[in-house]
Structure 1
Amino acid sequence: MMELNFSYFPQLSTERLLLRSLQPSDANEIFALRSDDTINKYINRPKAKTIEDAEQFITKILNAIENNQSIWWAITLKTESTLAGGILLWNINKEKNEAEIGYELLPHYHGKGIAREAIEKVIEYGFDQMNLQSIVALVHKENIASVKLLEKNNFIFDADTESIEDKDMLMYKLTATNFDLQHNYSERTSE
């Protein structure tokens, strides 16, 4: 069974992005994320109504990280300090070495390849550092942009959806084996 320890927060970096710890100062952007109709269209959660809702969410996330239950990164561009979105590994199943990935961006950042870049780095962390065997994603069947994003990152539709209560949701999965094959192929072709 896998052991988790997020006491030293794993800040991640890509060519354009810094994936950092969520801070209380991110409350305005968190409120924007959690209250925006476009972002919340396909997410089954209560919308934030006040800045206090955002502050409570930040506290909840920081407590979950402290208790090694999940890991949530603030997505920022290296050229900006403000939060553009968030990405997390959660619903961690230690017996199966599996986690669920989730992600969201403020609308201003959509269509710029930011989510794809963040997902690539987080799945690399999940497989290489957390030793996950699989990463799953639940996506609303009408959220075509998110489905395409998962497929670009080599997630495969998983027809075994009996465990999903909401029948409008689809499950996609990426296994460590498929990740390793794709990762090794990409490294060989870039040399």
Structure 2
Amino acid sequence: MNFAHYWQYTDAVSKTLFFILFALSVLSWVVGILRILKSRKLANDIASDLQSTITSKQNDLSKLEFSQRKMVAEQTLLQKIAQYRFESEKGLPVLGTTAAIAPFIGLFGTVWGIFHALHSIAESGQAGLAQVAGPVGEALIMTALGLAVAIPAVVFFNIATRLNKRAMHVATDTAHLILAKTAS
């Protein structure tokens, strides 16, 4: 059974589910690859960026008393880290949502294909292979498509989350070192 044969016998619901899964797949691959690239760049650049942020404020900080200098540096670093965190989480909801709903869309397609198989049996009055093979094949294809969309989304989500955790760890360590230097 080739794709053209399969496509010829599917109804509007199955075609709609196919297009939804296809769109989710393309979206999750694009978002996943971009998110991983941006998270990697963030993890590599975060320490130097935090350092340059404080260095640019060094003239203003040197005029302040110790407690004020520490507070201004701390607030500047916390604000910058919050911006990094927000930036690092962009796209993750798309990946998480895709990973969560794609199997259910595929499952709905499976149920729809089984419904077609039962309908075919009811129309013909026979439960032979000819009546159920096409609709059951359609059901299995929809299950496979749902999983094929969800699995890469989960992988991208996990990789991006891990890279983001690493970046935030580097940011926190760097902020502590900068605060220690600023305090002295």
TM more than 0.5? no
Larger radius of gyration: 2
Query: Comparing both chains, which one has the higher relative contact order based on Cα–Cα distances under 8 Å and sequence gaps of 6 or more?
Result: 2
Q: TM-score range by the shorter chain?
A: under 0.3
Looking at secondary structure, tell me which structure has more helix per residue: 2
